[in-house]
Amino acid sequence: MGARLFADEWRDWKAERERDLADPHGWLALVSLDWLDDTPRRYGDVPGLWWQDAEAAYLAPQGADLVHEGEPVVGVRRFALVNSGAGTRVSAGDVEVEVANRSGYLVRVHDPKAPVLRDFRGVPSYEPDPDWVLRGRFEPFDEPRPTTVGAVVAGLSHVYTAPGVVRFTHGGVEHALTAFNGKAGGLSILFTDATSGVTTYAANRSIGVGAPDEDGGVVLDFNRAVNLPCAFTDFATCPLPPEGNRLPFAVEAGEKLPHERS
């Protein structure tokens, strides 16, 4: 691939990435985060009464005009969600209230008028460099391993399934990174490196890796290393990389520290 084509494809990818970030109900639209307890109550401007027990979260609309999965919420609605998994959303006019399980239930509001979204100017990034496209090898574990990692929220943890490790060589030295399941049969790798806390977000970055070929070969394109939502907002509960996923060299590729954190 020629250098110009490589750079053009990266810029197309970056433009799409920034369009996704600018979604009116995306991560940059977050304006609040509240943890539920066992007492039904209203949380700030979040409509309805919310609470949780050991099994689920609950919503009583209390006359509010709320919609969940296309249907009006007319009675108590129960949400039993997988820990560290996908949340679900309740619409309330032009805002969306996300319900999620993060070792306990939370609600957070996505508001199209959020200041962070309003002021979004794109994400600073290193210039694309083909030298940061590295070949690696995926080595599966005998059985996928539940892996507990910390979070940017003190005292919180996440549990993900790690199917194996990705090994690659940089500067003549082999490195191994624990991988989690990604999209479309691919992998997702959380990592930090020598730029973390200097030119890039201190807690983490993420790189998506396509499905391994028949010999386990994979491609790691660090030019497409991205920030997690916590790099942009204090209302995210992002995971930290698993133990051992700190690279001892500077990955001067991918997204830098967002304007929101500089």
Q: What is the arithmetic mean of pLDDT over 86-96?
A: 95
| pLDDT tier, 1 (very low <50, low <70, confident <90, very high otherwise) | low
67/92 Cα distance (integer angstroms)? 7
Q: Please check the confidence at residue 2 and state whether its pLDDT lies above 70.
A: no
Q: Give per-residue pLDDT as tens, 230-246.
A: 999 999 999 999 999 99
Chain mean position to CA 215: 29
pLDDT at residue 262, rounded to an integer: 64
105/88 Cα distance (integer angstroms)? 11
Q: Please check the confidence at residue 113 and state whether its pLDDT lies above 90.
A: yes
> How large is the greatest C-alpha to C-alpha distance in the chain, in angstroms?
65
Q: Give per-residue pLDDT as tens, 131-168.
A: 999 999 999 999 999 999 999 988 888 889 999 999 99
Q: How many CB atoms lie within 10 A of CB 189?
A: 23
Percent of the chain with pLDDT over 70: 99
Please report, as a single letter, which amino acid is at residue 123.
Answer: V
Q: What is the arithmetic mean of pLDDT over 176-188?
A: 92
| Domain spans in the chain, listed from the N-terminal domain onward | 3-22+121-261, 27-118
pTM of the full structure: 0.89
Q: Please check the confidence at residue 196 and state whether its pLDDT lies above 70.
A: yes
